[in-house]
Amino acid sequence: MEKEIISWIYEAAERIKTGLGEALKVDQKNGRTDLVTNVDKEVQNFLVEKIKAYDSTAKILGEENGLDQTAIDCGRVFVIDPIDGTLNFVMQQENFCIMIAVYEDGVGQLGFIYDVMRDELFWGGAKVGKVFFNKKEISAPENKHLSQGLIGMNAALYRQNLYHAQEIGNTSMGIRILGCAGLEFIAMIKGTQIGYVSVLSPWDYAAGKIMMDQLGMPSWGADKQPLTFRKREFFIGGTQATMTDIQAFHKGKH
């Protein structure tokens, strides 16, 4: 299965790069900074066709084109985000990812995050028992505490100091705001950031969570409850030591 998915991702990336050279049609979704382009929709349709040809019984949970209500917990579900970081895609023509995840009866099997313009593919999960950076297997990053590393942050959470975001940031070595969940997951998997505090939809975290699970890095909601895969929700992920440190804020121990 993984060979097919990787081939779809590379073909989707070529379509995205072609789209960058043409006039983008940009529409707003929920507000002036929540954008979708013709390329997001076309690439999602491309991925949906490939998935259906590969497994006609699979269900699909995706950001665009009305696929955002599929339940994760029954049968094989592909979770897809054709362009994660659409605002970066439109404004920067870089710093965006393609993300695909495969769940079976709610259990994560394979996750894929592809940084298109840097040509960096991170993929793996329980089905293969490993995580890869391109063709090279990677090991779990060092189990650093919150005070020992950089942490990815959502700007609105940080500004409003929701879920102790500012205390968490101040305890870390510094915050980074990249505008692309996929890049934040890549940074955690590589070990260049020790955590990520945000508000995410299922297609934002589905692929990254599978790879983090494989590497022994937890992710959960504000009260340590499992992520629901049903709505946009508070998300924390990181090294085990960082997650313990952050949980202490949420228990009011700081």
CB of 87 to its own copies, least distance (A): 6
Q: Which is nearer to its own copies, 45 or 93 (CB)?
A: 93
Q: What are the structure tokens assigned to 245, written together? A: 């440190």
Please list, residue by residue across 169-182, b when 16 or more beta carbons sit within 10 angstroms of its beta carbon and e when fewer do.
bebbeebbebbbbb
Q: Interface residues with its own copies (CB under 8 A)? A: 32-33, 87-88, 91-94, 149-150, 153, 155, 158-159, 166, 169, 173-179, 187, 192-193
**Cα distance between residue 220 and residue 79, in whole Å:** 18
Q: Which residue ranges are tagged as binding site?
A: 63, 81, 83-84, 204
CB of 190 to its own copies, least distance (A): 8
**Cα distance between residue 65 and residue 47, in whole Å:** 12
**Cα distance between residue 152 and residue 176, in whole Å:** 5
CB of 192 to its own copies, least distance (A): 4
CB of 134 to its own copies, least distance (A): 16
Q: Which is nearer to its own copies, 103 or 249 (CB)?
A: 249
Q: Which is nearer to its own copies, 84 or 213 (CB)?
A: 84
Q: Which is nearer to its own copies, 125 or 179 (CB)?
A: 179
CB of 173 to its own copies, least distance (A): 5
Q: Which residue ranges are tagged as binding site for Mg(2+)?
A: 63, 81, 83-84, 204
Q: Which is nearer to its own copies, 174 or 216 (CB)?
A: 174
Burial of residue 32 (number of CB atoms within 10 Å: 0-12, 13-18, 19+): exposed
Q: Which is nearer to its own copies, 98 or 180 (CB)?
A: 180
Distance set, CA 78 to CA 87, 103, 165, 203, 214 (Å): 24, 6, 31, 10, 18
Residue 106: partners with Cβ closer than 8 Å, 6 or more residues away: 72, 73, 74, 229
Residue 236's Cβ-side half-sphere holds a number of Cα atoms within 13 Å equal to 26
User: What's the sign of the alpha-carbon dihedral 13, 230, 73, 206?
Assistant: positive
Q: What are the structure tokens assigned to 133, written together? A: 């950076």
CB of 60 to its own copies, least distance (A): 28
Q: Is 250 helix (H, G, I), strand (E, B) or coil?
A: helix
